[in-house]
């Protein structure tokens, strides 16, 4: 069975700092990769997704992620975080027919 | 903006009692998902519907959990009897097609926070 590992449980940054959240998965076949975000008091929403093609994908609010197949990784990045990026971030792997596995999430706190 | 509606938002129940959660997906979304999210963990898929048919319930504890989507629109998830370990957030999500496939993404509701005492 596939698994998803998010290495950082809690990240604390100051505004304008750069962000990189790690996501590694274990599955040998074709995968589709997602990052979801949950802002305080809100529901999970899609940040970005990768299906095929350019391994560098751009999402909303200046986020991007790079798929490195050889490393089974899909790390999330943002060059300069804002206080409003404070949220919980989930990496998810989808294999066939909607079968999904989510990581345990990373809580990001951005200090003003 | 269309949303996935869930009720109730919060539910406290005693162990061994029955409890039910309701979900109304975004109109036109054929696929509906129920997830369970334990504090500190990511969502875990319990059951997936395509229209009114269950396509995946491999992680659903069928001795106490049941789910239905009779007319292929809204859905109910039931637990009977509830156990202390069932305390969690129960999330409903929907997508136009099969989530995770090209062109389709899952939209999540606010969830129901269940506390079993």
Structure confidence by residue, pLDDT tens digits, A1-58: 779 999 889 999 999 999 999 999 998 888 889 999 999 989 999 999 998 889 999 9
CB of B115 within 8 Å of any CB in chain A?
A: no
Cα-based distances in Å from B111 to B87, B88, B91: 13, 10, 4
Structure confidence by residue, pLDDT tens digits, B18-71: 999 999 999 999 999 999 999 989 999 999 999 999 988 999 999 999 999 988
Is the separation of the CB atoms in A104 and A52 below 8 Å? no
Residue A68 has pLDDT above 60, yes or no: yes
Contact A102 B105 (CB under 8 A): no
3-state secondary structure of B84: helix
Task: Tell which of A52, A98, A107 to mutate to test the B interface (max B CBs under 10 Å).
Answer: A98
From the list A52, A94, A105, which residue is nearest B100 (CB)?
A: A94
Q: Extract the runs of DSSP E, i.e. beta strands, from B2-74.
A: 5-7, 10-13, 19-24, 31-37, 44-50, 53-56, 65-68
Structure confidence by residue, pLDDT tens digits, A89-103: 999 998 766 678 999
Contact A102 B44 (CB under 8 A): yes
Residue B99 has pLDDT above 70, yes or no: no
Residue B102 has pLDDT above 60, yes or no: no
Residue B107 has pLDDT above 60, yes or no: yes
Q: Kindly list the residues from chain B whose CB atom is less than 8 angstroms away from the CB atom of residue A94.
A: 99-101
Residue B103 has pLDDT above 60, yes or no: no
Q: For residue A52, give the DSSP letter.
A: S
Pairing mode, if any, of strands B10-13 and B112-116? parallel
Residue B72 has pLDDT above 90, yes or no: no
Q: How far is A15 from chain B (nearest CA, A)?
A: 25
Q: What is the mean pLDDT of chain B?
A: 92
A109's CB contacts (< 8 A; 6+ apart) are: A10, A11, A12, A13, A86
CB of B109 within 8 Å of any CB in chain A?
A: yes
From the list A4, A32, A98, which residue is nearest B31 (CB)?
A: A98
Q: In this predicted structure, what is the pLDDT of residue A96?
A: 67
């Amino acid at each position: 069975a596939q698994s998803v590992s998010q290495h950082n449980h809690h990240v604390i940054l100051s505004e304008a700092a750069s962000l990189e959240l790690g996501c590694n998965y274990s599955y040998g076949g074709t995968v589709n990769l997602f990052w979801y975000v949950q802002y305080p008091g809100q529901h999970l929403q899609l940040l970005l997704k990768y299906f095929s093609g350019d391994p560098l994908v751009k999402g909303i609010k200046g986020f991007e992620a790079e798929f490195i197949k050889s490393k089974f990784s899909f790390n999330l990045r943002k060059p300069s975080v804002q206080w409003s990026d404070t949220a919980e971030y989930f990496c998810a792997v989808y294999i066939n027919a909607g079968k999904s596995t989510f990581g345990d999430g990373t809580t990001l706190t951005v200090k003003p | 903006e269309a949303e996935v509606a869930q009720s109730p938002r919060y539910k406290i129940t005693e162990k061994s009692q029955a409890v039910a959660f309701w979900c109304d997906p975004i109109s036109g979304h054929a696929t509906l998902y129920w997830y369970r999210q334990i504090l500190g963990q990511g969502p875990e898929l319990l059951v997936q519907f395509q229209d009114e048919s269950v396509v995946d319930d491999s992680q659903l504890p069928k001795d106490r959990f049941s789910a239905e989507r009779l007319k292929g629109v809204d859905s109910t998830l039931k637990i009977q009897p509830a156990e202390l370990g069932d305390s969690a957030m129960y999330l409903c999500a929907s997508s136009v097609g099969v989530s995770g496939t090209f062109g389709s993404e899952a939209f999540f509701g606010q969830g129901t926070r269940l506390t079993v005492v």
